[in-house]
Structure 1
Amino acid sequence: MTDKLTAGARLVPPAPTPQPPPSQPPRQGKGKGKGKPRGALAWIGRIMGLFAGLLTLGVAGAVLAGFIAYQRFAADLPDVTGLRNYQPRMMSRIYAGDSRLLSELAVERRIFVPYTAIPEIVKRAFVSAEDQNFFLHGGVDPIAIARAAVTDLMTYRQGRRPIGASTITQQVAKNMLLGSSEVSLARKAREAILAIRLDQSLSKERILELYLNEIYLGLQSYGVAAAAQSYFNKPLDELTVQEAAFLAALPKAPNNYNPFRFPDAAKARRDWVLDRMAEDRVITAEQAAAAKAQPIAPAQYRRPDMVAGADYFAEEVRRRLIDRFGADQTTQGGLVVRTSLDPVLQAAADTALREGLMRYDRRRGGWRGPVARLPAGPALRTGWEGQLGQVQRPPGMLPDWKLAVVLEASDTEAKLGFVDRAAGAVPRVLPMQMADLGWARVAHLPPGALVPPPNLQLGPTPRRIADVVKPGDVVMAELAPATAGQGRNAGRPERLLLRQIPLVQGALVSIEPSTGRVLALSGGWSFEMSQFNRATQASRQPGSSFKPFVYLTALANGISPSQRFLDAPFVLDQGAAGKWRPNNYEMDFLGAVPLRIALEKSLNLVTVRVANQVGMDAVAQTAIGFRLFDNMPRVLPAALGAVETTVLREAGAYAGLAMGGREVVPTLIDSVQDRDGHVIWRAGARSCHGCEDPLHLPVLADDRRQVVDPASTFQLVMMMQGVVSRGTGGAAAKGLDRAIAGKTGTSQDFQDAWFGGFTPDLVTVVWIGFDTPTSLGNNETGGALAAPIWHDYMAVALKGRPKLAFVPPPGVALVAWDSGWGTVTDAFKPDQVPGASGPVGGGGIPQAEGPGADIAAPAPSSAGGVDSALGGLY
């Protein structure tokens, strides 16, 4: 039964086993087989879920931290949009009147070159060296950052500076916006943010243009154009492949790759750049190999030929540019400045002034001793070249002078050794002869004295070489070429002439009166020794060179050149200050003297009487009108030049006389252009009548202010011609054969010596004196000191110029008349001609007061009084 049931049971289908829901996987049993993997996967899933959650939280936290950091670092970053119109710092250049370079003004030596003008090989060389993915990334290069991070980790704790991954854009952001090179994550973060903003705001071309013009490349050069000049002395567009690669090697460390100092390191770095360029397919492998085979051949930069000896002029131009445009635009604005300087006349001015100062120094200054001393003895004779090379060149020593050491000396001759650099630094020995040393009387001055003491006593005239120099003395000397003998005069061998830097100073200004353009300006012996410009910055008393403006005032008020004034003692009662008694230079009295003769002889007593008659207020208005002073005290001593002015101001005032009484403003600058070539300032533009009509000749109108009428001014000019032909200024015009008007000037106690003179087309004023007002010595007048310097300069300046005469204006007559000191020719207005009907002198102005009369002192103006002891002399 059981079997049957069993068999039967087998025939009955078994009841279906309950199945889990389809969404649940079948459970695995324990033990071997499929049950064990099912549990492991569950745990892995849980762990992965945990990690995914943590990762999500980490990413969210990082995003939040990054956002906070971004907000922090980006909060005060500069605006990048300003770089769209950024103007880089560029040097300004000053040019002379003949377009030769006079000076360069710069804080950073940079020559800006626009992107389109930069050679392609230069651009690609810098991109290969500094930022290979520059044209691909968005301001920051993640691949370069990762590469730098790996390298920094591998070299951690090795004491090496971390390498960076700055792109060109980041470098622009750092240099031009951040201005900081500190090594910190904060700075790198700020730099990266700015780089991304820059990349979004500017084109790649503009960013690269800024980089290539701003990057510092050593040798005080900013930008690739300046660097091409500094390292290879050539313009940017002439660089070869290897030279462009070398410039691209410099940003990493310009000083370390200086080819003048470290040629091997420079070549290694350049070759690395060439490999990068080949890798980037900027050049071929063959071109790279050929370039690497070439050595770096640097060439010292040579500035274009610059005008020598014009430092005082250039510095005055710089000061005026700063006054007008400000320091930043002057030194960083890329200005092109055209000046009035004539280099030929400037050289003549420097030479004439220095020769005049040396003449005075030899006559009055004496010999002040050697520059230095070397130990005498056998060592000096055998090794003097090396010892002499250790002696510092004194400031102010002229370029063609030489330092020489006395090797041996006899009574009549010394042997001096020097290094002749003009002949290739060759040691030479030449004689110095006693015949050239008669001037070298020993002067005993305190060490470092800048002016001679009062009543300086010089030693006796030297008779032997030993009275002047001894073996071991180092002196300044000038090479004198050999001269051939003629007739009874024996020739002289090549020799050395003893020289020293004078203590006395001087200044010279030369002006073109028709325009006011300053053609030459010398402000002292040497700009190297003293940058103080005595032509524009030193206020000194003009002495009798001021008298023409007193006489011009009288002429404008109707006084005639022939009208007589009394040359006799004059006393001015100044109340509590006592009585002022001026005197003539000659300490004599000539009685009644015509105005013309009084100016020729520079008579102080006549001048004071003329000034008193016309009034010091009128005299002051005349002087101020010609811009000789800004203000002037209305006191009689000022009529003799006891008031201060500058050489440049007096030159401008004398130019006004040459121009018939018009105001002339001296100018050193003709025009100024900005970096784009636009004229932003021009001097003395005149109105032109008929310039628009090609059928008529244009007429340039002289719109300058008329200070004094032309007739009176011409009368004065005729009288001033007598000063140089018959009077105190005879040394100025000697042998020039020109129409010259002028006036000497010497201040109280011979402290200042002046001569101002002019032809119809050229005005020159010369001043001589010590920086600290000190007597030049008895009888050292303007006629003796300044007039010969004026003559030497004008002899050069007038060469090639036409001979011009002063043209009388309408309304005056030229008449010869007997002055009592000879027959002279003067200009007379109607009713002033001597011997004609009507009063000579005109205007109803009374004659001068009688001799010895006491006159009340005029009240000083608001400008203050003048020391009554001061006054012009001669």
Structure 2
Amino acid sequence: MREYMGNNNPKYSRTAKKHEQHHSSKNHNGPRKRPVRRPKKKMSLFSKILLGLALTALVCICSGATLFFMWAKDSPTLSEQRLASAGSTMIYDSDGNKIMSLGTENRSYVNGKDIPQKLKDAVTSIEDRRFYKHMGVDPFRIVAAALSNVSESSAGLQGGSTLDQQLIKLSFFSTKRSDQTFKRKAQEAWLALKLDKTYSKDQILTYYVNKVFMGYGCYGMQTAAKYYYGKTLDQLDIAQTALIAGIPNAPSQYNPYSNPTYAKARRDEVLNAMVTNDKISSQEAASAKNEDVKNGLLQSHQKQGTTENEKIADPYIKQVIEEVKDKGYDPYKGSLQIYTNLDMNVQKRLYEIANTDSYLSYPDDELQVASTVIDPKNGNVVAMIGGRKNGNVTFGLNRAVQTNRTNGSTAKPLMDYGPAIEYLSWATYKPIKDTKYIYPGTNIQLYDFDHKEKGTMTMRNALIQSRNIPAIRALEAVGITKSQAFIEKLGFKYKKTLEFQNGIGMPSSTLQNAAAYAAFANEGIYHKPQYINTIITADGESKKFASSGKQAMQPSTAYMITDMLKQVITEGTGTRASISGLYQAGKTGTNAYPSDIASKFPSSASMDSWFNGYTKHYSVSVWVGYDHQYENGNYLDRYSQSLASLFYKAAMTYLSQGKTNTDWSRPSNVYVKEVNGVRELYLAGSSSQTVKDEDGDSSSISSLETTSSVLSSTSSSSASEETPASSSESSSDNVSTSSSSSSATNSSPTSSTSSTGKTNTEQNGNPDNSDAGKTNP
């Protein structure tokens, strides 16, 4: 029985085995046998990696979802008003008054039922093929776009954004690249989902078709159809429809007027997308591609809705738009509010001075004027005129910022005498030789307007009389490298090294000159010109802009230059700009004709006339000349050469009304000394009794007595002669270039000998005349 139970009762069997094992261990001397255990199965490295990746993915998904919903809850409220609005940018003056809007007035709204199916097919094919299938965000499109970016193949897609997302971006968010953050993308996607849930596909497409910017101030595709073709959308053929559908991606690049090649390529891309999307046949696409891209385009447009303020502020607004783009915003897609530094009252006065006979008398309507007004304390561009008699042209040529004309002798304080004071500590009575001068490394002789040499004179008198030879001697003493470094801090940046002749004329604009002279007015502190004060984006973010200012020169340099330039206006070449009782400083400049074509014009004719002047409150630069200065009759006579000074005087008289009239304060390191009856300045640490001329020869103050007396007499004579408009201009900025070609090609002094053998500075008549800036860096 026990045997049976032992064999068949599991409990007994286990107990018996245990007892036997125990008994055996007690009665045997051999090692104890341990029960055999099977090893646990180890996880492979691959499995661990997969598990780790899975866990990481899970954490990322959870974290991403958490972030997404955190960002999404701060999204703007979905608003039909925002969706339906034109989305145009508004531009305001410095007082917050609206100047203009980009496109609102030039808009034709189209109802959804009136949008032709072929346009819907074209838009969805090129912008969002799965528009009718997704729910506002298309994961497939996002993945496909990512893969195409990696493979550098567009695959017909325009990125990962659906039409819903594009509409949301245009309606609610900034289009600035730096604002395209993950948070914005999350909010954009969230609103796109809500949009798709709230509105039908046709409603969404209608909002999009009416909102996109189409170029030339047009918002909406119906507006574009009327602007480009003079038709409504339903009257366009397939080729024209495809062109319209392709424009929003890059309105400037796909403009059929200025870029027909790109416009055709984009149109054909739309047609190909329609074929791929089974909306048209290959035969229809081929036929449409054969159509001339300019077929049906209107040749002229009637500009409507242009207000008087828009016309007056046009050159300024053109620069505002450029600056907005430079800051990373799209003024045509961004629905921005742009607050500028424009003083509309000053802008209107400049416009009146340029375009009416109430202030100045112009010889003809072809003579052009450009002027820029800047606040020296902050660099704000207060006003700007880019031309005269321009009609209703929108964003036309702005001569105030063009740099293809040299600024004549207005360059002398900037490139010659400013650096001499800054780097060499020259006193205002520093003796400089007005004697025969040959450009270094050449056999080219430099002349003044009168072909005379006046011996040794002080730096002050050389600047007051605007003598050329002393100016270039000052530049040579400083050196081109230091001089160019000096003007670079004042906003003149050139790609090549300047030449000595640029000391009496640099290629520059009124914008650059007004900003540079503003540093003289502001104790040597230079501010980069600023058109914009504040930009408010579609989502309410406000960004302010200001120039911090940099110390471009010592306050002592600015003061000493200003002190000399004050006399330019009171008794030198700038007497026509004189305003009784006003503390101001300034410099004249004109450019003569190259001597190889000078025979076509009167001996006293000039190509350009400049005046740069300033008070403590405003810096103003004025240019006067003809666009085509080499054509017969397009020259400045004696009176026309004075218009730059007279324009400045009219503008500064208005600008100074209601402003404090205070003189500049002398820095503590600038000392005053009377030299031969003239109040002169010198720097602390430099010798007040003996100075060295540019050749290193010592000259005592007393040795200049005779010369200084003669120069003072000459200066007074020049001033009295220059006051009448018909006088024989006896100041001396005048340099002409003997062998520049009539096409105004710039060359170095070494190539400036004319066929007559005369050298590069012969000119009769206007002493304020310089064509020295032939080198165009």
Normalising by structure 1, what TM-score? 0.48
Q: Are 1:317 and 2:320 matched, yes or no?
A: yes
Find the counterpart in structure 1 of residue 439 from structure 2.
572
> Helix, strand or coil for the counterpart of 2:587?
strand
Find the counterpart in structure 1 of residue 347 from structure 2.
346
**Rounded Cα–Cα distance in structure 1 between residues aligned with 2:315 and 2:572:** 33
Q: Are 1:563 and 2:430 matched, yes or no?
A: yes
Find the counterpart in structure 1 of residue 404 from structure 2.
539
The alpha carbon displacement at 1:529 in A equals: 7.0
Q: Is the 8 A contact 1:546 1:640 kept in 2?
A: yes
Find the counterpart in structure 2 of residue 591 from structure 1.
455
> Helix, strand or coil for the counterpart of 2:327?
helix
The alpha carbon displacement at 1:173 in A equals: 13
* 2:338 aligned partner, one-letter code: V
**Rounded Cα–Cα distance in structure 1 between residues aligned with 2:634 and 2:97:** 38
Higher helix share: 2
Find the counterpart in structure 2 of residue 814 from structure 1.
672
The alpha carbon displacement at 1:770 in A equals: 1.2
* 1:587 aligned partner, one-letter code: H
Find the counterpart in structure 2 of residue 552 from structure 1.
418
Find the counterpart in structure 2 of residue 466 from structure 1.
none
Q: Is the 8 A contact 1:90 1:109 kept in 2?
A: no
Find the counterpart in structure 2 of residue 733 from structure 1.
578
Find the counterpart in structure 1 of residue 769 from structure 2.
873
Q: Are 1:99 and 2:96 matched, yes or no?
A: yes
* 1:710 aligned partner, one-letter code: P
Alignment of 1:264-343 (within 5 A): 306=309, 308-325=311-328, 329-343=330-344
Find the counterpart in structure 2 of residue 742 from structure 1.
586
Give the 3 Å change call, closer, same or farther, for CA 584–253 of structure 1 in structure 2: closer
Find the counterpart in structure 2 of residue 706 from structure 1.
551
* 2:411 aligned partner, one-letter code: F
Q: Is the 8 A contact 2:430 2:693 kept in 1?
A: no
**Rounded Cα–Cα distance in structure 2 between residues aligned with 1:779 and 1:581:** 26
Alignment of 1:172-321 (within 5 A): 178-179=121-122, 202=195, 205=198, 210=204, 213-214=207-208, 216=210, 306=309, 308-321=311-324
Give the 3 Å change call, closer, same or farther, for CA 254–592 of structure 1 in structure 2: same
Deviation digits for residues 558-602 of structure 1, max 9, x if unmatched?
A: 111101111122223655xxx222222233222211100100000
**Rounded Cα–Cα distance in structure 2 between residues aligned with 1:84 and 1:675:** 12
Q: Which has the higher contact order (CA 8 A, sep 6+)?
A: 2
Alignment of 1:482-497 (within 5 A): none
Q: Percent identity?
A: 20
The alpha carbon displacement at 1:635 in A equals: 2.2
Find the counterpart in structure 2 of residue 56 from structure 1.
none
Deviation digits for residues 109-134 of structure 1, max 9, x if unmatched?
A: 6799xxxxxxxxxxxxx9xxx9xxxx
Deviation digits for residues 754-799 of structure 1, max 9, x if unmatched?
A: 0000001100000011112338657638962210110011111111
Give the 3 Å change call, closer, same or farther, for CA 824–351 of structure 1 in structure 2: farther
**Rounded Cα–Cα distance in structure 1 between residues aligned with 2:361 and 2:446:** 28
Give the 3 Å change call, closer, same or farther, for CA 618–103 of structure 1 in structure 2: same
Q: Unaligned stretches of 5+ in structure 1?
A: 1-80, 113-125, 131-167, 183-188, 227-250, 256-300, 363-500, 686-702, 849-862
Give the 3 Å change call, closer, same or farther, for CA 175–191 of structure 1 in structure 2: farther
Give the 3 Å change call, closer, same or farther, for CA 346–176 of structure 1 in structure 2: same
Q: Which range moved further: 718-727 or 82-91?
A: 82-91
> Helix, strand or coil for the counterpart of 2:644?
helix
The alpha carbon displacement at 1:545 in A equals: 0.5
Determine which of 503, 507, 511 is the counterpart of 1:648. 511
Determine which of 533, 542, 546 is the counterpart of 1:684. 546
Find the counterpart in structure 2 of residue 784 from structure 1.
642
Give the 3 Å change call, closer, same or farther, for CA 613–782 of structure 1 in structure 2: farther
Find the counterpart in structure 1 of residue 38 from structure 2.
none
Alignment of 1:397-412 (within 5 A): none
Determine which of 599, 610, 617 is the counterpart of 2:481. 617
The alpha carbon displacement at 1:809 in A equals: 1.9
* 1:345 aligned partner, one-letter code: V
The alpha carbon displacement at 1:733 in A equals: 1.7
**Rounded Cα–Cα distance in structure 2 between residues aligned with 1:873 and 1:502:** 23
Q: CA RMSD in A?
A: 4.9
Deviation digits for residues 297-349 of structure 1, max 9, x if unmatched?
A: xxxx98998455111111121223234336xx221210111111111111111
The alpha carbon displacement at 1:738 in A equals: 1.0
Give the 3 Å change call, closer, same or farther, for CA 571–674 of structure 1 in structure 2: same
Find the counterpart in structure 1 of residue 297 from structure 2.
none
Find the counterpart in structure 2 of residue 384 from structure 1.
none
Alignment of 1:134-145 (within 5 A): none
* 1:567 aligned partner, one-letter code: D
Q: Which range moved further: 197-206 or 348-357?
A: 197-206
> Helix, strand or coil for the counterpart of 2:525?
coil
**Rounded Cα–Cα distance in structure 2 between residues aligned with 1:759 and 1:513:** 9
> Helix, strand or coil for the counterpart of 1:742?
strand
Find the counterpart in structure 1 of residue 380 from structure 2.
517
**Rounded Cα–Cα distance in structure 2 between residues aligned with 1:846 and 1:529:** 61
The alpha carbon displacement at 1:628 in A equals: 2.5
> Helix, strand or coil for the counterpart of 1:804?
coil
* 1:796 aligned partner, one-letter code: Y
Q: Is the 8 A contact 2:528 2:549 kept in 1?
A: no
**Rounded Cα–Cα distance in structure 2 between residues aligned with 1:794 and 1:657:** 17
* 1:799 aligned partner, one-letter code: Q
Normalising by structure 2, what TM-score? 0.54
Give the 3 Å change call, closer, same or farther, for CA 622–346 of structure 1 in structure 2: same
**Rounded Cα–Cα distance in structure 2 between residues aligned with 1:597 and 1:108:** 58
The alpha carbon displacement at 1:663 in A equals: 2.4
Q: Unaligned stretches of 5+ in structure 2?
A: 1-71, 138-163, 165-191, 212-216, 224-231, 237-303, 594-605, 700-745, 754-759, 762-767, 771-777
Larger radius of gyration: 1
Q: What count of residue pairs does the alignment treat as equivalent? A: 486
> Helix, strand or coil for the counterpart of 1:744?
strand
**Rounded Cα–Cα distance in structure 1 between residues aligned with 2:420 and 2:427:** 8
Find the counterpart in structure 2 of residue 628 from structure 1.
492
The alpha carbon displacement at 1:508 in A equals: 0.6
**Rounded Cα–Cα distance in structure 2 between residues aligned with 1:356 and 1:810:** 47
Give the 3 Å change call, closer, same or farther, for CA 608–746 of structure 1 in structure 2: same
* 2:519 aligned partner, one-letter code: G
Give the 3 Å change call, closer, same or farther, for CA 195–526 of structure 1 in structure 2: farther
